[in-house]
């Protein structure tokens, strides 16, 4: 297999964008973005979309290519990204993927498992019970129907237990198939026409938190408050249920002061970074580098993996 997908992972504000551009310039290739927050054209500052000069320094794909009013799932992204890579590998056997959305990274590198089609009546019943009983109904149901998967979520990604859409899906598969959701995981083999080379960037926790706090301050200086205010009338949209916007929506609703909202953005971003690290540290065969590592060292690592530029 002669195609290589250099995949850069790591927590938010660690320097993934800067590294991806340097590598793209070295290998003369494009960049696939798999940051699920950067897909949306209405969200620029709060999602840390690369600046125009960065976008001009290397060809990027899947940045601000959708609207918050459009439904766009991780499955949609997998299909689109694989098709784009098929196209790009015809020009260059090295391509780059970068982003902090672990589920979206896994979708491209590994693909998704096959789940059975579920009768619409099951979904309707679950929605009705959720409307009446709330998130606790979904949590209790999953705990009863697939205890192992519930415990896995609880230990590895507990915020998922508060995500109604994902929890509904888990319960839907359990009830509709009569089997645990986890029994369908890992059954399908997804073939890829590339070899992934996974590079992780990391920093000491205090340094990582310092970088996050600074980024939030810079976002506020760049106009995050005004961007959030423009989006506020559509705060119910799924794309806007994210750190950096939710906290400012609370400020607009009168439930928080502006200073408190800003501190909440910093706190919740730090928590998000911790969850990213937990997810990415499970990545198989990832090579981790300090965020200050000279790019030449990383290039040497990539080339030792057998990657060679193809004109």
Cite the annotated binding site for ATP by residue number. Answer: 10-17
Q: Across residues 253-266, what is the average pLDDT?
A: 98
Which pLDDT value is given to residue 83?
Answer: 96
Where residue 311 falls among pLDDT bands split at 50, 70, 90? Answer: very low
pLDDT of amino acid 189: 64
Q: Does the pLDDT of residue 149 top 50, yes or no?
A: yes
pLDDT tens for 219-233 read 999 999 999 999 999
Q: Would you place residue 8 in the very low, low, confident or very high pLDDT band (cuts 50, 70, 90)?
A: very high
Mean pLDDT of 143-157: 93
| 178-202 per-position pLDDT tens digit | 999 999 887 766 789 999 999 999 9
Residue 116 confidence class, pLDDT cut points 50, 70, 90: confident
pLDDT recorded at residue 90:
95
pLDDT tens-digit map of 25-82 = 999 999 999 999 999 999 999 999 999 999 999 999 999 999 999 988 888 999 999 9
Section 103-119 average pLDDT: 87
Confidence of residue 309 (pLDDT cuts 50, 70, 90): very low
Percent of the chain scoring above 70 in pLDDT: 97
Annotated binding-site ranges? 10-17
Which domains are assigned to the chain?
A: 4-112+190-304 (3.40.50.300), 120-184 (1.10.20)
Return the pLDDT at 87.
97
What's the pLDDT at 310?
A: 45
Q: Quote the pLDDT of residue 1.
A: 59
| Confidence check: pLDDT of 283 > 90 | no
Mean pLDDT of 244-259: 97
- As annotated, the binding site for substrate includes 12-17
pLDDT at residue 194 in the model? 95
Mean pLDDT, residues 113-118 taken together = 81
What pLDDT score was predicted for residue 114?
79
Spell out the SS3 assignment of the chain: CCCEEEEEECCCCCCHHHHHHHHHHHHCCCEEECCCCCCECCCCCCCCCCCHHHHHHCCEECCCCECCCCCCCHHHHHHHHHHHHHHHHCCCCEEEEECCCHHHHHHHHCCCCCCCCCCHHHHHHHHHHHHHHCHHHHHHHHHHHCHHHHHHHHHHCHHHHHCHHHHHHHHHHHHHHCCCHHHHCCCCCCCCCCEEEEEEEECCHHHHHHHHHHHHHHHHHHCHHHHHHHHHHHCCCHHHCCCCCHHHHHHHCCCCCHHHHHHHHHHHHHHHHHHHHHHHCCCCCCEEEECCCCHHHHHHHHHHCCCCCCC
Q: Give the pLDDT band (50/70/90) at residue 121.
A: confident
Confidence at residue 307, expressed as pLDDT on a 0 to 100 scale: 55
pLDDT of residue 168: 94
Give the whole-number percent of the chain exceeding pLDDT 90. Answer: 79
Mean pLDDT of 240-246: 94
Share the mean pLDDT of the chain. 93
Residue 270 banded pLDDT, cuts 50, 70, 90: very high
């Amino acid at each position: 297999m002669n195609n290589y997908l250099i995949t850069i992972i790591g927590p938010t504000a660690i320097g993934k964008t800067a590294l991806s551009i340097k590598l793209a310039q070295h290998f003369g290739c494009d960049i696939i973005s798999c940051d699920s927050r950067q897909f949306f054209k209405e969200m620029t500052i709060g999602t840390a979309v690369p600046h125009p000069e960065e976008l001009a320094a290397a060809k990027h794909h899947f940045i601000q290519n959708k609207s918050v009013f459009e439904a766009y799932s991780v499955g949609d992204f997998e299909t689109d990204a694989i098709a784009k890579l098929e196209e790009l590998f015809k020009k260059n056997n090295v391509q780059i993927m970068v982003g902090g959305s672990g589920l979206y990274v896994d979708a491209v590198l590994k693909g998704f498992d096959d789940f059975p089609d579920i009768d619409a009546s099951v979904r309707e019943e679950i929605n009705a019970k959720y409307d009446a009983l709330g998130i606790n109904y979904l949590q209790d149901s999953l705990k009863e129907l697939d205890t192992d998967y519930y415990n896995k979520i609880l230990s590895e990604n507990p915020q998922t237990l508060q995500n109604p859409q994902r929890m509904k899906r888990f319960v839907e598969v359990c009830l509709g198939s009569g089997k645990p959701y986890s029994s369908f995981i890992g059954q399908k083999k997804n073939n890829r026409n590339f070899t992934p080379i996974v590079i992780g960037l990391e920093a000491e926790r205090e340094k990582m938190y310092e970088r996050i706090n600074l980024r939030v301050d810079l976002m506020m200086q760049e106009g995050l408050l005004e961007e959030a205010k423009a989006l506020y009338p559509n705060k119910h949209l799924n794309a806007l249920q994210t750190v950096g916007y939710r906290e400012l929506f609370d400020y607009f609703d009168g439930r928080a002061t502006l200073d408190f909202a800003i501190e909440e953005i910093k706190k919740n971003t730090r928590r998000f970074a911790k969850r990213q690290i937990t997810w990415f540290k499970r990545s198989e065969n990832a090579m981790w580098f300090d965020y200050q590592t000279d790019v030449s060292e990383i290039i040497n690592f990539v080339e030792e993996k057998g990657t060679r530029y193809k004109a």
